Each structure stands twice: as structure tokens, then as C-alpha cells.
């Protein structure tokens, strides 16, 4: 993190409201990916499937109500089109 001039963000212990966005993401991830899938045989398999879920479904296809029911990739495209 130091290399990229970043600092970790820490909230108060036991207060999920300090970071509601990531808590909501974790809830979606658990519901749509972890709880709906059979157990993984290896850590590598879990990592590969998680990557595929995030990169090809969550970021490219899954709509998000907080960004106008667009996928994150589409929202980013619209953002850059608007500022161009």
C-alpha cells in the first residue's frame, strides 16, 4: 500500500455502518456466490471461480440500483463518455 501512497481505512470495531458500501457488497457476494455454490475442492478452484464471478458477471452484467441499474463497467463507460 505504501508503494501506491495508500492508507488502510479502519472503522470502529463492530460498527458495520462505518463502511456500508463494502458491507452491502459482501452481503451480495455471500448470497449470490458463496451460499449458492457447492463447496470448492481447493483454494485455487475457489479463487478461479471467484475471479470469473466478479470479472464476467458482477462487473459486466449484474445491474446495480445505486448506479442507475447499470453494470459497473457500463457505468464507468458512461462516466468517461460524459467527461470527454
Among candidate residues 51, 49, 79, the one with its CA nearest the CA of residue 59: 51
Is pLDDT at 56 greater than 90 in this prediction? Answer: yes
**Percent above pLDDT 70 for the chain:** 90
Whole-model pTM?
0.71
pLDDT surpassing 70 at residue 84: yes
Of 35, 24, 36, 37, whose CA–CA distance to 66 is shortest?
24
Q: Quick one: pLDDT at residue 28?
A: 94
Q: 3-class DSSP state for residue 64?
A: strand
Nearest to 16 by CA among 8, 7, 24: 24
What's the confidence (pLDDT) of residue 10?
A: 67
DSSP 38: P
Contacts of 32 (CB under 8 A, 6+ apart): 53
Reported as a single tens digit per residue, the pLDDT across 29-51 is 999 999 988 889 999 999 999 99
Amino acid at each position: 500500500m505504501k508503494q501506491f501512497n495508500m492508507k488502510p481505512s479502519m472503522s470502529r470495531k463492530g460498527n458495520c455502518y462505518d463502511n456500508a458500501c463494502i458491507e452491502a457488497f459482501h452481503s451480495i457476494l455471500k448470497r449470490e456466490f458463496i451460499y449458492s455454490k457447492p463447496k470448492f475442492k481447493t483454494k485455487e478452484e475457489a479463487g478461479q471461480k471467484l475471479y470469473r464471478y466478479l470479472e464476467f458477471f458482477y462487473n459486466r452484467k449484474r445491474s446495480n440500483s445505486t448506479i442507475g441499474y447499470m453494470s459497473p463497467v457500463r457505468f464507468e463507460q458512461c462516466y468517461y463518455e460524459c467527461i470527454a
